Structure 1
Amino acid sequence: MRSAQLGRRIGVLAGGTAAVAMVMFTASCSSEESAPEETTTTTTTTTTTTTAPVEPTEKAPRINPNDPNPFSPTVIAPPAPTAIPGDN
């Protein structure tokens, strides 16, 4: 009986020590320093080129609640065979 209590106490002590160590490690790694603020200015230039007109692609099927699901498979698997009762 005493050995079970001793084992539990050692487990609780080890768990508590681990929790305290994790909190201390997290606190030691955090810093309250802020990064220096830098301002940068970017300038962009654009050039105009003539390209072919863009046409929309309409490859994706439209989903209508009244139509069957276009993403459902076309092949339907046969049903599983049934076994005779009592035969596994």
Structure 2
Amino acid sequence: MPISITVRNQVHADISHYTEDPVGVLTSLREKAPDRSVLASIMPHADTMLNEYQLNLLIDEIDGAPQGSDSEQKVLQDLREACLSALRHRGYLWFSGD
């Protein structure tokens, strides 16, 4: 199942949504991620919140990720944009699993 991503500001208002992952590419990427990475910490069947510190770590992980398929690259690009948006709004990312 796909994981939806919501950018929220510091007062918990929704800023934007990134949910264009109908085949669960993000779930697949998190399963391939190293065990102690931020990407691996995203729960596919529950909610996960990433704060400013974690967002910066995730951006570093995305930037260092090996080239994957076009769909993987698109999801990672969207995830990076979501991280940057959350940081600009002094907020966080909310991941909602199935």
Give the TM-score, by structure 2 length.
0.20
Structure number with greater CO (CA < 8 Å, separation at least 6) is 2
Q: In terms of Rg, which structure is larger?
A: 1
Which structure: greater helix fraction?
Answer: 2
